[in-house]
Amino acid sequence: MTTTKIDSSTSQQPLRLWPGVIAVALQWLIWFGVTAVDPDAMMGAVIGAAAGALAILVWWLFFSRVPWAERLGAIALIVISVVVTKRVDHPSIAGGMMGMMLPIFSLPALSLALVVAAAAGRRLSGGPRRAVMVAAILLACAVFTLVRTGGISGYGVSDLHWRWTPTPEQRLIAKAADEPDRAAPAAAAAPDTRLPAVTTGQPAAPDTRLPAVTTGQPAAPTSSPAAAKIPEKSGADPIAANTAAGWPGFRGPERNGVIRGVRIDTDWSRSKPVELWRRPVGPGWSSFAVHGRLIYTQEQRGDDELVSCYDLTTGAPVWRHKDAVRFYESNGGPGPRATPLFSNGRVYTFGATGLLNALDARNGSVVWSRNAASDTHTKIPDWGFASSPIVVGDKVIVATAGTLAAYDAGGGHQSWQGPAGRGGYSSPQLATIDGVAQILLLNGEGAISVDPSDGKLLWKHEWNIDGIVQPSVIAGADVLIGSGSGLSEVGIRRVAVARGPGGWAVEKRWTSNALKPYFNDFVVHKGYAFGSDGSILACIDLEDGKRKWKGGRYGHGQIVLLPDQDLLMALSEEGELVLVKATPDQFTELARFPVIEGKTWNHPALVGDLLLVRNGEQMAAFRLPLASH
């Protein structure tokens, strides 16, 4: 009888590679293919990547035939490498996607590294094979230390750059270092105070649905201005010039994106928009307030949050007010989120960290300033304070992440604080329901209405929503509420509001998922609502919420309505200006024209035939062709 000694070095079964190869191939196909087919399906791509990683983990641990020490060692090294990488990668990567960017992006990268290393080392002896595995895992993690993100799109796609490349904000600051500081008093030549010819096509029809809104007491600037005065010519006043041609703030005169009295030529093949000026601007998602020949917006430059005033005719800076605060979150980037409000010679602004300013519109000097976040004991929300102020009577009202607060417009003393709300990024909306003026607000708990005089709750409708877009009052007593982030319930709901002997009553009429507005406001026209369903424009019937059509992938941009000619003007997320018929019969795109480069979430402003657009990098003005009579 003989005994054969088996060499332990040859007893190990060969690597079973094919399941890992198939799993990682399918994982990467899903990672890139799902969003190529449907850009709104980023969550599906993430789920696919996670499922693929799980399949590879199961293969590696139970079916790969790799020695157990190497199986467990590779998994331990992956976990340790991701933890260490998160400590040294760029803050935009570490904080991206609410802190989940590195874990999400590392799933396909490390899955591929594991399979490639296994394949490359399958014919090597133990030491070199393990070295290949360690090198592959460390290299996959090291890649994430070399990049930064400029934020994510509305689709959830990250804007990746090499870590050492300057951001648009850094380039702007470097360029501005050679320019005179407009925030310091200095003698300068008097600018031309004449307003450019702004044509409206026909006289604007006044809308009498809302009660008269007064704007408080005349400004009384303090003696500590934070910006330079505007040099003035004799008798000329850039504030007073042609006050009829203006855009007071967020989404226009009624905060509903409706522009009356303007008819434009929709055949842009023969008559295109004409660019008047273009200039870089600091990051922020603010839109414009326009009065006379001055425009106002908010932006970030380094450690300073700015309220900036520019010349409407040329885009030249007029004055800047600076607050030494900086808000940053990786998804949306740095800077303020709200839009200034012009009212009675003042500019009211609300910054991303909660600073509420009243500034003299002529020169930017501080009338008063409050920290609304501190006043209401509200923590800065994940995406910053985004409420645009509104002035009603003698009060300026803002929303601090779902909670309303009012201040005396003249002196800045806090007048009242509304009921506490759970988060939200919507702005206060003035409405009249059953003859009663009230302030509406969407927050994480649904919709609330308060008395503008004292902030007392009139009514509340509970719905677990994101509280980002503006509500809309229809038929004089019904309210449209939208939600579309996917972090809560999504869709659009119509509720009926009525006042009876026992107080206010709110009843749900219908809820529809045919329109899911995220941070893209919708407009209402002739019994229909038009807005973004994800990234695609859609129309629904307000009688029952049923969809009439869906078409035109304009990303997460913004729209305005020109009701005089049944026309939608959409500013796409990619910076294209698009004209679409505001009719329910079918989707009809009439024209499109590129107006700005880069991710564009900001609302456009239209003063007569003069269009203002901006994003986090640049702003521009265009003259739109008017329709012939």
Query: Is 16 in the same domain as 158?
Result: yes
Query: Is 216 in the same domain as 157?
Result: no
Residue 130 phi, psi (nearest 5): -70, -35
Distance CA 421, CA 409 (A): 23
Query: Is 225 in the same domain as 304?
Result: yes
Residue 361 included in any domain: yes
Count CB atoms within 10 A of the CB of residue 197: 11
Residue 277 burial (C-beta neighbours within 10 Å; 0-12, 13-18, 19+): middle
Q: Which two tokens stand for residue 320?
A: 């800047």
Query: Is 411 in the same domain as 309?
Result: yes
pLDDT value of position 41: 86
Partners of 592 in the beta sheet? 578
Residue 523 phi, psi (nearest 5): -125, 160
Q: Which of 507, 548, 562, 552 is nearest to 532 (CA)?
A: 552
Q: 315: domain range?
A: 209-229+237-244+285-425
DSSP 559-625: EEEEGGGTEEEEE-TTSEEEEEE--SS---EEEEEE---S---SPPEEETTEEEEE-SSEEEEEEPP
Query: Is 121 in the same domain as 218?
Result: no
List the CATH number of the domain containing 368: 2.130.10.10
End residue of a domain, out of 396, 425, 454: 425
Distance CA 38, CA 59 (A): 30
Residue 459 included in any domain: no
Q: Which two tokens stand for residue 294?
A: 């001055």
Residue 379 included in any domain: yes
Residue 585 included in any domain: no
Count CB atoms within 10 A of the CB of residue 29: 13
Q: Which two tokens stand for residue 98?
A: 């609410």
Distance CA 391, CA 406 (A): 9
Residue 568 included in any domain: no
Query: Is 39 in the same domain as 129?
Result: yes
Residue with tokens 């434009």: 264
Distance CA 577, CA 275 (A): 13
Give the single-character DSSP code of 216. -
Q: Which of 349, 342, 431, 331 is nearest to 385 (CA)?
A: 349
Distance CA 384, CA 373 (A): 11
Taking CA atoms, 91 is separated from 85, 151, 330, in Å, by 11, 11, 8
Query: Is 217 in the same domain as 345?
Result: yes
End residue of a domain, out of 401, 425, 449: 425
Distance CA 398, CA 353 (A): 13
Residue 219 included in any domain: yes
CB 347 within 8 A of CB 386: no
Residue 185 included in any domain: no
Specify the amino acid at residue 160.
Answer: L
Distance CA 71, CA 59 (A): 10
Taking CA atoms, 317 is separated from 181, 182, 191, 312, 349, in Å, by 10, 7, 11, 10, 18
Task: Return the HEC string of 448-470.
Answer: EEECCCCCCEEEEEECCCCCCCC
Residue 517 burial (C-beta neighbours within 10 Å; 0-12, 13-18, 19+): buried
Distance CA 51, CA 303 (A): 42
Query: Is 61 in the same domain as 152?
Result: yes
Which residues, 6+ apart, have CB-to-CB distance to 4 below 8 Å? none
Query: Is 127 in the same domain as 215?
Result: no
Distance CA 150, CA 128 (A): 39
Taking CA atoms, 403 is separated from 250, 287, 424, 467, in Å, by 19, 22, 8, 11
Q: Which two tokens stand for residue 570?
A: 């959409």
Q: Please list the rounded mean pLDDT of every run of 10 residues in the chain (629 residues).
A: 48 86 96 89 92 96 95 96 95 92 95 96 92 96 96 90 96 80 43 38 36 35 38 44 68 95 94 97 98 97 98 97 97 96 97 98 97 96 96 97 96 96 94 96 96 97 94 93 88 95 94 94 97 95 97 94 97 97 98 96 96 97 91
CB 562 within 8 A of CB 259: yes
CB 590 within 8 A of CB 264: no
First to last CA, the chain: 112
pLDDT value of position 476: 84
Distance CA 441, CA 379 (A): 18
Query: Is 219 in the same domain as 350?
Result: yes
**Tally of domains within the chain:** 2
Q: Which of 35, 106, 48, 52 is nearest to 77 (CA)?
A: 106
DSSP 498-536: EEETTEEEEEEEEEESS---SSS--EEETTEEEEEETTE
What stretches of 355-487 show up as alpha helix (H) in DSSP? 372-375
End residue of a domain, out of 106, 136, 162: 162
Residue 386 included in any domain: yes
CB 614 within 8 A of CB 602: yes
Distance CA 355, CA 371 (A): 5
Largest Cα–Cα separation, the chain: 121
Q: Which two tokens stand for residue 556?
A: 């997460």
Distance of CA 155 to the CA centre of its chain: 12
Distance CA 297, CA 340 (A): 6
CB 133 within 8 A of CB 116: no
Query: Is 29 in the same domain as 148?
Result: yes
Count CB atoms within 10 A of the CB of residue 371: 13
Query: Is 213 in the same domain as 158?
Result: no
Task: Return the HEC string of 261-294.
Answer: CCCECCCCCCCCCEEEEEEECCCCCCCCEEECCE
101-120 vs 18-37: helix axis angle to the nearest 10? 140
CB 447 within 8 A of CB 460: yes
Distance CA 371, CA 377 (A): 10
